[in-house]
Amino acid sequence: MKRGIYSLLKARFLVDESASQNWRFILFLILLAIIMIANTHRYEQKVFRIAELNNEVKELRSRFVDRRSQLMKLRMESTISKKMEARGIKPSPVPPQKITVTKKESKGFWSSLWQE
């Protein structure tokens, strides 16, 4: 037992006759570790990008709500009438009336020939 721990600490498994198999396995483990590190790095980049996009969406949504409320204020009749009074245009005291137009039915050529 003591000899096994001592040989492990001195890394004799790397210089023995069967060391080529051990080196292959160690290189395989190193390759796996590099792949895991790269994968974790890409995952974290995507998480940061998603968080950044979520913040941008929240900001754009708040700007949209602000602009929509400004538009609603500008579209109010009182706001429009105040701006038009500055130009000398005032609202009419007489309410508007609806005008209906009736279209006369046009007669075709044959129906005008056989007119009664």
> Domain locations in the chain?
2-89
Distance from the Cα of residue 32 to its chain's centroid: 35
pLDDT tens digits, 51-96? 999 999 999 999 999 999 999 998 988 888 888 888 888 888 888 8
Per-residue pLDDT at 28 exceeds 70: yes
What backbone phi and psi angles, to 5 degrees, belong to 61? -65, -40
23 neighbors 13 (Cβ within 8 angstroms)? no
**Cβ distance 22 to 14 under 8 Å?**
yes
What's this model's pTM, rounded to 2 decimal places? 0.52
Question: What pLDDT does residue 40 have?
Answer: 97
